[in-house]
Structure 1
Amino acid sequence: MSQLAQPGAAPSQADLRPALTLLTGFAPEATRAAADLLARADPALLVVGYDLTGLVGDGTVRRTVRDGRGTIEDERTVLEHGCLSCTVREDLLPALVRLARSRPGSDIALVLPPSMEPETVATACSWCHVDGAPVTDAIRIDSVVAVCDPASLLDTLDSDQDLADRGLQAADDDTRSVADTAARQIEYADTVLLWTLDADPAGAADPYEHARLAVLLERLNPWARHLVADLDEPGRLSARLRRSGRFDPDGPEPYGRGLEGYAVGCHEPEPDCGVVATLYRARRPFHPARLHRALPAVAGSTLRGRGHLWIASQPDSIVAWESSGGGVSMGDLGRWLAATPDEEWDESSPERRINADLHWDPDFGDREIQLAFVGLHFAADELAAVLDGCLLTDEEIAEGRRAWREYEDPFGGCFDGKEGN
């Protein structure tokens, strides 16, 4: 049975490395306010912030370091190759290691700018070296906290803009969308913090809307811990956000959850404050042309979709699905185990091999469709009917894979997985 990812075990008391809390979110004011709250609760906490507004123009980034007593560093750095990845490798990671070594008794809170996704930082920490030693020798990621502002959350998740439309792109070729980026920040987090109604200076926030957003966040990331900010008790909130040990460096990758036996979402088809969540599963593949025609209807009716699927004309390729802001992104996740030589199975994780064995189909092997959708006031059964209409019919199944490969395929050449014989 599928299960939700469990948080990593709390670190041993013998682990003396400074704990790193990643604060992510698409509303910079709320994210910085959360960092301020943590600094008030612990004046020794080092708060690191980044301004990437000069990254695309002149290749510069501004890095600030402060604690509860004031600013410690405020530096602007020119990067030879102005992009997000070089910012992380050439400036961020060395700065974190240096701070951890120079102030071993202080934990660190890293306030990520909107265009920097926490997965990028966590992945870099896991494999990069600084001064010849792994970054994780100096620091450990304790938790990833997505800070969400109720005033802008829904508009952000429903936006049809790209980061470049808002001047937030992290490189000249950064084509990510606002909605995708914001959703991935929430989905990667182990803790989701909905900012407080009290922070609205106009006092116009609606308690029902706040409750609706809380439900939406729980549906978007059901494996995280969900909190609501309490400005009156910063110490209590800080204690729940920091040194929780919730980040699991060995947890499933967001796009590979279903392949390893973890749930890709939750199934709550009855509206709760208008929020609907549904899981769609099927063993037979999608017809490429019918799926292509259905894309606008599927993406347009929901706020967010994620998961994996297979297409009849490319039966060896695992296809990742991501939808938000009315758009769809599909990419390659490699080959199905059923299309992989036996001697190469060991290259896949034990979890994936076990999940494949448990759910092996005599006709399709481990091939299957798992898609999770979240939105407002959509009919889950109608969405399922649209997707059912994209599946191969009994007659098409009987034609066999040789005939499937000859189908009209609008997705031809989009996926890199090598086809079998």
Structure 2
Amino acid sequence: MTSSPQAPIRVETADAGTRPSLTVLSGFWPAATFAVARTLLAADPSLLLVRHDLAGIRDGVVRRVVRTGTGIVEDERIALAHGCASCTLREDVLPTLVRLARDNPGHDLVLMLPEVVEPEAVAAACAHHLVDGTPLTDLIHVDSYVTVLDAEHLLDGVASTDDLATLGIQAAEDDHRGLADVVVRQIEYADTLVLWGRSREGEFDTGRIAVLLQRMAPWAAHFRVDGDLVDADALTRHLRHTHRHRPETPGVLARGLQGFALGTHEPEADCGVVSAVFRARRPFHPRRLHDVLEDVNADVIRSRGHLWLASQPDTVVAWEFAGGGLTMGSLGHWLVSLPEPDWEHVCDQRRLAAALEWDPYYGDRHQHLVFIGLDVDPVELHRTLADCLLTDAELADGEEVWRTYHDPFAGCFPLGVAELTDTDTEGARLA
């Protein structure tokens, strides 16, 4: 087993030691995720593993199984709440964790999420939902969010253009997420990533996948595990009682706005993997940007970030690309477009980040995009995006003229609505 030097293991505090510790496991390939769970149980038979099986979801049933290292202790079927697997899990997971913690003092917990559940949604439920009038975090210490990736299937997963509904594994009738979207969000929210097994293409390809994961989630601790030979005690030391989870860390789309790292600029290819960061102050010309949407993502596995358009200077525009599809939407107002009294409704971290880089002309408006892929040409990518920025002459015209530009994105990013709009790489479905 190999690991990165990032995110060193922290010593457990006395406060956390008074509550049972919870490790949350996610991953799109259940065989690999369950293998990690079984390894943790082998190292500590008293550990309680909670798992929800969605195999009967079409019949309106979810199966909850609780086991220790010595066998199954609970096996119950739960009626599907509101026809939604996510609702059922939210309404069952938290009470189950609290009950197990109260009934089994001194026993830590592992929650293994179904493959289509994103850990950020679980973290939000843990932070905001009460159980018997008490926050879950007052009763259980949420230690870390671990995502397990199967080295044999990961590249196919992040490049997949399939959606969950087509595969018949959606969490609800209105679940329109793509497979790649789920995988990248599981990767990017995790504080710990485990690359399980080996690529069928050999050691070089396995190493390339490990580099890709480092570029996609540079903020996480990274570990590689050979599925044929696993040291259970070593893996346990890496994954449990680490205190890696930081609930105040924003989701990936808000990271850059709140001053957190959005990605790393690694323009030199490592095993073919390139990570390129594009930053600029000038606004994009809407038509020129629209015309290059396909080009800039042609060789990209993942891109993300935020931007501003000259024609919509008040709006923070979100940018997400995965699985061959680009998603853009509104992240609300730039601070410079808000009356100062309204700034008090914005989080302190966002205001601090804006103040540190405030520009007397642009305010907090800026471009911040990260592109990660195989054999990406970072120079050509930067040149293409830079050509979409306003020229000196266009800048001199001012905002009143910018707002009159022909805008292919008009109406796509309503302010006050935190809703993303899906589009293909040509931007043809931005309506």
TM-score (norm 1): 0.93
Given that 1:53 and 1:168 are in contact with CA atoms closer than 8 Å, whether structure 2 keeps it comes out as: no
Given that 2:317 and 2:331 are in contact with CA atoms closer than 8 Å, whether structure 1 keeps it comes out as: yes
Q: Residue 331 of structure 1 corresponds to which residue in structure 2?
A: 329
Cα distance 1:167–1:7, how it changes in 2: closer, same or farther (>3 A)?
farther
Which residue identity does 1:122 align to in structure 2? A
Q: Residue 52 of structure 1 corresponds to which residue in structure 2?
A: 54
Aligned equivalents of 1:182, 1:232: Cα separation in 2: 24
| Secondary structure at 2:115 match in 1 | coil
Give the ranges of 4+ consecutive aligned residues of structure 1 lying more than 4 Å apart after TM superposition.
5-11
Q: Residue 205 of structure 2 corresponds to which residue in structure 1?
A: 209
Residue 217 (structure 2) pairs with residue 221 (structure 1): yes
- How far the C-alpha of 1:14 sits from its partner, in A, is 3.5
Aligned equivalents of 1:408, 1:53: Cα separation in 2: 49
Aligned equivalents of 1:187, 1:7: Cα separation in 2: 18
Matches within 5 A, 1:215-254: 215-229=211-225, 231-254=229-252
Cα distance 1:17–1:418, how it changes in 2: closer, same or farther (>3 A)?
closer
- How far the C-alpha of 1:52 sits from its partner, in A, is 2.3
Q: Residue 132 of structure 2 corresponds to which residue in structure 1?
A: 131
Structure 1 vs Structure 2: percent identity of aligned residues?
Answer: 52
Q: Deviations over 1:17-50 (max 9, x none)?
A: 1111111111111001000100001101111111
Aligned pair partner of 1:38 in 37, 40, 44:
40
Moved more, 46-55 or 146-155: 46-55
Given that 2:86 and 2:117 are in contact with CA atoms closer than 8 Å, whether structure 1 keeps it comes out as: no
Aligned equivalents of 1:144, 1:333: Cα separation in 2: 25
Q: Residue 272 of structure 2 corresponds to which residue in structure 1?
A: 274
| Secondary structure at 1:260 match in 2 | coil
Given that 1:316 and 1:418 are in contact with CA atoms closer than 8 Å, whether structure 2 keeps it comes out as: no
Q: Residue 21 of structure 1 corresponds to which residue in structure 2?
A: 23
- How far the C-alpha of 1:163 sits from its partner, in A, is 1.3
Aligned equivalents of 1:375, 1:185: Cα separation in 2: 18
Q: Residue 65 of structure 1 corresponds to which residue in structure 2?
A: 66
Aligned equivalents of 2:290, 2:64: Cα separation in 1: 44
Given that 1:25 and 1:114 are in contact with CA atoms closer than 8 Å, whether structure 2 keeps it comes out as: yes
Q: Residue 101 of structure 1 corresponds to which residue in structure 2?
A: 102
| Secondary structure at 1:338 match in 2 | helix
Cα distance 1:6–1:255, how it changes in 2: closer, same or farther (>3 A)?
farther
Residue 376 (structure 2) pairs with residue 374 (structure 1): no
Q: Residue 296 of structure 1 corresponds to which residue in structure 2?
A: 294
Runs (5+) with no aligned partner, structure 2:
1-5, 418-431
Moved more, 371-380 or 224-233: 224-233
Query: What is the RMSD computed on CA atoms of the aligned residues?
Result: 1.9
Q: Deviations over 1:190-216 (max 9, x none)?
A: 11111133xx8xxx4511111111111
Aligned equivalents of 2:133, 2:356: Cα separation in 1: 43
TM-score (norm 2): 0.91
Aligned equivalents of 1:72, 1:304: Cα separation in 2: 41
Aligned equivalents of 2:244, 2:52: Cα separation in 1: 24
Given that 1:296 and 1:326 are in contact with CA atoms closer than 8 Å, whether structure 2 keeps it comes out as: no
Matches within 5 A, 1:348-363: 348-363=346-361
- How far the C-alpha of 1:10 sits from its partner, in A, is 5.2
Aligned equivalents of 1:66, 1:205: Cα separation in 2: 35
Which residue identity does 1:280 align to in structure 2? F
Aligned equivalents of 1:60, 1:179: Cα separation in 2: 26
Which residue identity does 1:83 align to in structure 2? C
Aligned equivalents of 2:78, 2:135: Cα separation in 1: 23
Aligned equivalents of 1:298, 1:262: Cα separation in 2: 24
Q: Deviations over 1:332-379 (max 9, x none)?
A: 211111011111112222222122112111211000010111100110
- How far the C-alpha of 1:232 sits from its partner, in A, is 3.4
Residue 383 (structure 2) pairs with residue 385 (structure 1): yes
Runs (5+) with no aligned partner, structure 1:
none
| Secondary structure at 1:259 match in 2 | coil
Given that 1:30 and 1:148 are in contact with CA atoms closer than 8 Å, whether structure 2 keeps it comes out as: yes
Cα distance 1:7–1:98, how it changes in 2: closer, same or farther (>3 A)?
farther
Aligned equivalents of 1:10, 1:322: Cα separation in 2: 36
| Secondary structure at 1:110 match in 2 | strand
Aligned equivalents of 1:417, 1:174: Cα separation in 2: 24
Aligned equivalents of 1:381, 1:17: Cα separation in 2: 51
Matches within 5 A, 1:298-317: 298-317=296-315
Given that 2:120 and 2:251 are in contact with CA atoms closer than 8 Å, whether structure 1 keeps it comes out as: no
Given that 1:25 and 1:31 are in contact with CA atoms closer than 8 Å, whether structure 2 keeps it comes out as: yes
Q: Deviations over 1:304-327 (max 9, x none)?
A: 011111111111111111101121
| Secondary structure at 2:82 match in 1 | coil
Aligned pair partner of 1:320 in 318, 321, 324:
318
Given that 1:63 and 1:76 are in contact with CA atoms closer than 8 Å, whether structure 2 keeps it comes out as: yes
Cα distance 1:23–1:309, how it changes in 2: closer, same or farther (>3 A)?
same
Given that 1:8 and 1:247 are in contact with CA atoms closer than 8 Å, whether structure 2 keeps it comes out as: no
Aligned equivalents of 2:62, 2:236: Cα separation in 1: 28
Which residue identity does 2:73 align to in structure 1? I
Q: Deviations over 1:92-116 (max 9, x none)?
A: 1111111111112111111111210
Cα distance 1:65–1:95, how it changes in 2: closer, same or farther (>3 A)?
same
Cα distance 1:399–1:179, how it changes in 2: closer, same or farther (>3 A)?
same
